[in-house]
Amino acid sequence: MRRLPRLFFLRAIIVVTFLTLTGWPSRAQSTLQVPPEWNKALDTLAEKIAATAKPARTFSLDVRNISSLNAGDVSGLRQTLVEDLTGLGFSMTQKVPGEAQLQLTLSESAEDYVWVAEIRHGEAREVVIVSAVRNLVEKAGAGKPSLTLQRKLVWEQDERILDFGLVPNGNAAGASILVVLQPDKIAFYDHRAEAWHLNREIAIPHARPVQRNVGGRMDLQAGTATLVDGVCVGEFQRPETVTCKSVPSVPDADLALMQGNIVEGHAALASNCSGSPLLLSTGPGDWTEPDFIQAYEDRNQREPIAQPIQFPGPILALWPSEDGKTARVVSRNLQTGAYEASTVSVSCGD
């Protein structure tokens, strides 16, 4: 008796069982032909996952879509990534205690798709990111959004940033000063030769050791920086006038207001392209996850009115700037570990 038929059916049973456990869509179910540009991005993502995930060889896979991709796109991307990882010697399974967990977040920036893979194995956690061309699936005749969010990175450093801002330089007409508030000091930078250079830094005394969850915020117009148990006062346009001192700890209610990003997670801007108020809101993740900023016309956040801006880590502070037209954003890059200070602005178009 020939063994081939029995071996064939045994393999078929194994394959069907594997696909059932992983929820891997079959090619018959997915009509999307993944474009070559996306295939290349997924190949790169799979290679980054493989390099980061060792020694784990088996994953549970969860896919979260916060982009404009439709269900068919998501299904095709998931299938392709599973195929790429399988080709690299990995396998997918249902969530089982002790196995590595792989979460794929499909998001987008103003220009491209941004795909973030988070690998967790026990206490270990790694994040890898790739981008992919977005306009391949724009529907014919679909109008472009009239509002676009834009992010500009102003400053980054290894030490924690609580708040930052730009003010006119009172000692040099037409120039600006970058003010950066940290848990233990406030620093002032001048812009020379296409770069920021430290002008002055002032230590902020504390009556007790600085807490890990310390919060702080600046009022650039008033010339004040307030922390839980410290304050700096002066003309920020003239750093030589600024002094800092320790003060009694502020009440919990004031601290909650000072850390409004943690409580509210949004910033209201004066108006958008239509003249209506605009609300910027962060994503639902915590400090261990990549984040994004989305724009809404409604405080209830029913319908987004622009593509979100993806950040490679959690957003730690989100404040409206003094002019009401931009927002100040402090985030942490999970890939580099650096704290980043950015501004988010709105542009209008057809």
pLDDT digits (tens, 9 = 90+) for 265-306: 678 887 667 667 788 888 877 778 888 898 887 666 567 777
Of the listed ranges 21-30, 45-54, 224-233, 258-267, the least confidently predicted one is 21-30
- The mean pLDDT value of the chain amounts to 78
Q: Distance (Å, rounded) from C-alpha 246 to C-alpha 233?
A: 12
Q: Residue 43 above 80 pLDDT? A: yes
Query: What six digits make up the tokens of 317?
Result: 């502070």
Q: Residue 255 above 60 pLDDT? A: no
What's the pLDDT at 350? 52
Domains of the chain: 11-137 (3.40.50), 147-348 (no CATH)
What mean pLDDT do residues 163-178 have?
89
Compare 308 and 158 and report the one with higher pLDDT: 158
Side-chain half-sphere exposure of 4, counting CA atoms within 13 A: 1
Write the CA distances from 225 to 68, 177, 202, 238, 242, integer angstroms: 40, 15, 12, 15, 10
pTM: 0.59
pLDDT tens string 191-200: 988 899 999 9
Nearest-5° Cα angle at 36, 32 to 41? 100
What's the pLDDT at 299? 62
Compare 257 and 109 and report the one with higher pLDDT: 109
Q: Each residue of 160-197: b (16+ CB within 10 Å) or e?
A: bbbbbbbbebeeeeeebbbbbbbbbebbbbbbeeeebe
Of the listed ranges 30-34, 58-62, 270-274, 295-299, the least confidently predicted one is 30-34
Write the CA distances from 110 to 171, 339, 347, integer angstroms: 37, 22, 11
Compare 253 and 231 and report the one with higher pLDDT: 231
Nearest to 108 by CA among 69, 67, 63, 152: 67
What mean pLDDT do residues 202-222 have?
83
Q: What is the pLDDT confidence band of residue 324, given thresholds at 50, 70 and 90?
A: confident
What's the pLDDT at 219? 93
> Which range among 3-12, 145-154, 236-245, 294-303 has the greatest average pLDDT?
236-245
Q: What is the pLDDT confidence band of residue 212, given thresholds at 50, 70 and 90?
A: low
What's the pLDDT at 108? 84
Amino acid at 270: A
Q: Distance (Å, rounded) from C-alpha 347 to C-alpha 305?
A: 12
Q: Distance (Å, rounded) from C-alpha 277 to C-alpha 268?
A: 7
Please report the sign of the dihedral spanned by the C-alpha atoms of residue 302, residue 303, residue 304, residue 305. negative
What mean pLDDT do residues 314-329 have?
89
274 in Cβ contact with 294 (< 8 Å): no
* pLDDT over 90 percentage in the chain: 31
What mean pLDDT do residues 78-93 have?
87
Q: Residue 16 above 50 pLDDT? A: no
Q: What is the pLDDT confidence band of residue 322, given thresholds at 50, 70 and 90?
A: confident
What's the pLDDT at 148? 84
Q: What is the pLDDT confidence band of residue 36, given thresholds at 50, 70 and 90?
A: confident
Q: Residue 97 above 90 pLDDT? A: no
Nearest-5° Cα angle at 29, 25 to 30? 80
Compare 315 and 322 and report the one with higher pLDDT: 315
Compare 66 and 237 and report the one with higher pLDDT: 237
